[in-house]
Structure 1
Amino acid sequence: MSSNINNSTPAMCIKNRDNLYRLIISQLFYDGHSTIASSLAAQVNADPPCNPSDRLMSVVTKGLQHETDRQKESEQALNLNPIQQMLIGPGIDLEFETNVVCTASEPSLYETVYVTSHKGPCRAGAFSPDGQLIATGSSDASIKILDVERMLAKAHDIGSTDNQEGQGHPVIRSNFYP
């Protein structure tokens, strides 16, 4: 976890890290680990010497208590059991609107390149990461995988009939679910 304190100026980062090392050294002295504390103090050049203190333990305890309190509050707010919370996760606010300017063209300006033969309305579509394949899903419980190059070739060669045994057919796989 990173905090806003560590994201400030480099001088503040160094100061915060030095403060952290001093807290660790003081806690080690307090717990009776003087050889480890002395070794760490020599490594990080802690000057002036650190006095034994349990401040690190109290800060960590308060932080952990705050963390568990926040977790309990969120659990009580949702009134869900732990399994339901795990399944739901933190979530995303899909209704959140920003002042983003849309750069996409109007849907009416798009060109239909290929129409596949789903029995019902096509409800989903996605490109593969390399952009060579498209998967479409229909309300008729079918999924079709199409080759983009074949789709474009078929769209531009409307009049040609030299396709032998469906080699130019864009649909390369169809899956049906009962």
Structure 2
Amino acid sequence: MGSYLQLILKLALPIILIVAAGGVADLEFETDLPETVTVAAAAVITFAFFLAPSHFPNSDEETRFRRAVAAAIIVAYLVMVSIAVFFIGGPDKLPPLTESLISSFTTFVGVVLAAYFGSSAYVEGQKRKYDAQARKSSSEKNESRTSGSKAEPHASAVVPPQSHFAKSSRRR
């Protein structure tokens, strides 16, 4: 649990500092550039953090990438909403464009979350399916050895299909 808290602090501290710096810069400049840079920087930091293999050594590349995209979009959304609410002037003074952007991004975040959890469930289901097939073929192989008959060569070779992400990374 302690290492998990350290990981969260490693991610949260830079984002908090960037948001604070964006708030101070917003007071100095009369443009929306500080808010834009703040949201983008928070998303990029989050993406890089979750993509780094050192933070999640037991995860494969595809899982880390999926996690990084989902986390970056969620953090960008949270930073954007907090900036809109706390730095622009509250919900009564939001410009129509900001309201529309937040509404659209809220829908987008919902779709990303649904896709993330849906794909995670699918991947887990496929792993269980192939694990069960491997156990079955292994037990059939053991039974055929004890009964004296020969097992078919393909019966013990249950290999799960590789994902599209793994295939595309090999082509490079």
Taking structure 2 as the reference length, the TM-score comes to 0.23
| Higher strand content, 1 or 2 | 1
Q: Which has the larger radius of gyration?
A: 1
| Higher helix content, 1 or 2 | 2
